Each structure stands twice: as structure tokens, then as C-alpha cells.
Amino acid sequence: MKAASPSPDDGSAQVDGPRKQVVATTDGSCETATGEGGWAYHLAFGRHERTASGYETGTTNNRMELTAAVRALEALVEPCHVTLVTDSQYLKKAFTDGWLASWRRNGWRTAARQPVKNRDLWQRLLELADVHDLHWRWTKGHAGHATNELVDALALRARRERRGTAHG
């Protein structure tokens, strides 16, 4: 391993040093009757924090959970060591329990031979997982985890107000 160079004073990225340790907490929200959804993330790196949220129509809760993770990882401007905290077992287990590997091996089909839903987002997450050193942590939703409660509220607000804070 290369020796880490001192951090530049201007806040720019270290090229040959260790990756930054980032905690990304994500959540999605969807009103199934209308298909209106919201997503949100919170990124924490040392003393620095950043949040964003967004709104989509014609969606599902699972799609919003995946979108939140994609948008959080896309917001990172350099490869990082990321602990992604989610209350979605669907999102976490796809990576940690080998579901994604099976789906890919089966031509993006489930064990029941059905097409995998949200394939576009799964593929984007796989691309981002190749960039970042990604580790998964599950937290129970609505159980007092402060940052999970924050992103839950941001996703719900984006859905209800039909707009988020993210642009582009």
C-alpha cells in the first residue's frame, strides 16, 4: 500500500492516500395508491454532512429505496469507503445474500424465472459498487435511529410536496 500523502489544505481529494470514510443513510417512500414517491440520503464524512431528496411519479417503494442509494453514491466525487445504512432488507440482501450474483448468472431473472424488477437501478448500483468500497448495514425503520428518521422525513416530505432538494 502506498504511503498516504498529507491532506491538501484546500480540501481537494487525496490521490494516493486512503479512501475517505463516508456513512450514507438512505430511504425511500411511496404512496402505492398514486405511485408518487420520494427518496432521500444523508452523507457524513467527518464533520461534513450533506442531504438531498427527490420526487418521482409512477414508482414503487422498492424503486425509491434503490434510487436513494444510487443518488447517494453518485453524489460522492471520488472513490470512498462507504457504509450504506438502509432500512430496506430488499436493498441490503440483494448485495449481502448473493441475490444480485444469482440474478446476473440467470440472465437477470429471479429464481421463479421472472424478470428482475428495477434492473436499471440494480445495474447502476453495481457500477457504483465497483467505484466505492461498499459495506452494508441494516437498521430497523421507525425505531429511533436519528439519521434514518431524518432521511425518512426528507423522503416523505419530497413525496408529499412533490419536489425534492436535488437538482439535475
| Residues noted as catalytic | 27-28, 65, 87, 142, 152
CA dihedral 54, 115, 126, 164 (to 10 degrees): 0
d(CA 67, CA 108): 19
d(CA 3, CA 49): 27
**Residue 153, phi-psi category: left (phi > 0), alpha (psi -120 to 50), beta (remainder):** alpha
